[in-house]
Structure 1
Amino acid sequence: MTFTPRFAIVTASDSGIGRATALALADAGMDVGVTWHSDEEGANTTAEEVRARGRKAVVAQFDATQLEDVPGIIEGLARDLGGLDVFVNNAGGGAGGPFLDLDIESWRSIVALNLDGAFVGMHTAARLMADGGNGGRIIAVTSVHGSQPRVGSAAYVASKHGLEGLVKTMAQELGDRGITVNAVAPGEIATPINDMEASDADETHRPGIPIPRPGKPEEIADVVAFLASPASSYVTAATWVVDGGMLQMGPQAGSHLESDAWRSAG
């Protein structure tokens, strides 16, 4: 069986990594389901750019924390597209703060977004792909903090660690159905969530990163597009770190820190 992806859904594709990914998949010949949480105008802009590439785009509002609504939204997008071959779980986020100040409500809201919502979304996509019998690609956008912690981000880090584990277990169980499951782990990327635009990446110096700048959304999207393609047919249960080499700086960065400033959550 030759896997030929035609239909993709990218959650949180109203801006940043999600938008860049939707456009990369459209460039690869796929029709795309676009979702938005609060930026409907941004989602419509993404959809217009998909259509400008000669592909179909459908748009839906999507809140990953409203778990009971997630399956219906994904199923509706797949129905409007005509099928589902690629699902990119890009919705995520969460504010930081000291662990001792973290309350259960804040913990639950972040875990619900990054892990519970991801589970329901990827579970729905996997069932659609399994029922379709044509295989598929499921890609979760995680974080470098899915493998390395960050001070002041306990709930975020825990949820991303959990998502990495979910990806690996799904890959074990779905491989014989022709469905691959992988993660892409960005480092610091020039996106609105980081108060940057893509154009800021080349103007921002990061001395602690081997490639000394933030990444661009398109640099994440290119890796996602590979994992969504027929060329990735023997890749599953993998985490593709896209961070300019930042994670490799662990002991080197640690031994060269000159102050205790890192201990604060800021």
Structure 2
Amino acid sequence: MSTPSSLFSLEGRSAFVTGAGQGLGAAIARGLAAAGARVMLTDIDEHGVEGMAACLRDAGHEAIAMPLDVRDEADFWLCFDAAVQRFAGVDVMVNNAARTPSTSLWDIGAEEWDDVLAINLRGSFFGCRIAGRHMRERGAGRIVNLGSIAGQQASAATGVHYAASKAGVIALTRAFAQELAPHGVTVNAVAPAAVRSPMLEAMDEARQRTLAAGIPLGRFGEPDEVAAAVVYLASPAAAFVTGATLDLNGGRLMR
């Protein structure tokens, strides 16, 4: 019989995280490593992701890093294959890489629209399909996609292209969950609301207070709280959860 602690352990597992050079991705990589996973960190910022991997290694974890542009499927395959070779397989895929502009819908140009969708949605599609094929062959695996409350509820705080991409991520999650369930692979999403980040903290205090006032719990989320949700979905404790979107929004959207 599994003990409560073993249900949340990722000992012996390996994980692949996109957008892991800073912010939520870095917190998720730390959380997975703390749970016992070996982690491949990827990010378009080569310097940042190498620094994060070095921090994890300094803390006693097994971590490697590679630069990755998730818009490029060939680049994605190259990085994923490197993780497979290093860890003899990938057990957990976290599609986190995203661009989060807040441009008014009246001012979004075609190039910006296409780039946001390419990073946030096409990149997640590549990650799901590449990891899904690998995990399908192995007969097990966990895929966790980063959605957002923006994909569930209209908000002036984020651009409509960002919202559309995150709504697409939720639909993508359900499609891959249905396809991969017979092969022992679960696919889920987490949907955070306002979480502390450099972008949030760059706002003036009055704007921050206004945003926090709209959250029933009266505060912003913390990156480590999002990481904990990802660790849960990646763990044996969530073996019967697939096609789900886990809301992390302090009560802003109750359903």
Same fold (TM over 0.5): yes
Tell me which moved more, 67-76 or 229-238: 67-76
Equivalent in the alignment of 2:83: 77
Residue 146, structure 1, aligned to residue 151, structure 2: yes
The separation in 2 between residues aligned to 1:74 and 1:149, in whole angstroms, is 34
Q: Please point out which of 4, 18, 22 is paired with 2:25.
A: 18
Name the CA shift for 1:212/1:115 in 2 (closer, same or farther; >3 Å): same
Equivalent in the alignment of 1:56: 62
Alpha-carbon contact 2:146-2:169 (below 8 Å) kept: no
- Runs of 5+ in structure 1 lacking a partner? 197-203, 250-266
Equivalent in the alignment of 2:182: 176
* 1:137 maps to amino acid: R
- Runs of 5+ in structure 2 lacking a partner? 203-207
Give 1:102 shift: 2.2
Give 1:12 shift: 1.0
Aligned alpha-carbon RMSD (Å): 2.2
1:102-150 superposed Cα distances (whole Å, 9 cap, x missing partner)? 22211111110111111011110111111223x0000001111111122
The separation in 2 between residues aligned to 1:33 and 1:180, in whole angstroms, is 20
Corresponding pairs, count: 240
The separation in 2 between residues aligned to 1:141 and 1:214, in whole angstroms, is 17
**What's the TM-score, normalizing by structure 1?**
0.84
Tell me which moved more, 172-181 or 75-84: 75-84
Name the CA shift for 1:194/1:65 in 2 (closer, same or farther; >3 Å): farther
Residue 232, structure 1, aligned to residue 224, structure 2: no
The separation in 1 between residues aligned to 2:81 and 2:191, in whole angstroms, is 26
Give 1:65 shift: 1.9
The separation in 1 between residues aligned to 2:108 and 2:52, in whole angstroms, is 35
Identity score, percent: 37
SS in 2 for 1:99: coil
1:179-228 superposed Cα distances (whole Å, 9 cap, x missing partner)? 000000111111123346xxxxxxx6422211111111000000000000
Alpha-carbon contact 1:140-1:183 (below 8 Å) kept: yes
Alpha-carbon contact 1:210-1:244 (below 8 Å) kept: yes
Residue 188, structure 1, aligned to residue 204, structure 2: no
* 2:34 maps to amino acid: D
Give 1:229 shift: 0.2
SS in 2 for 1:247: coil
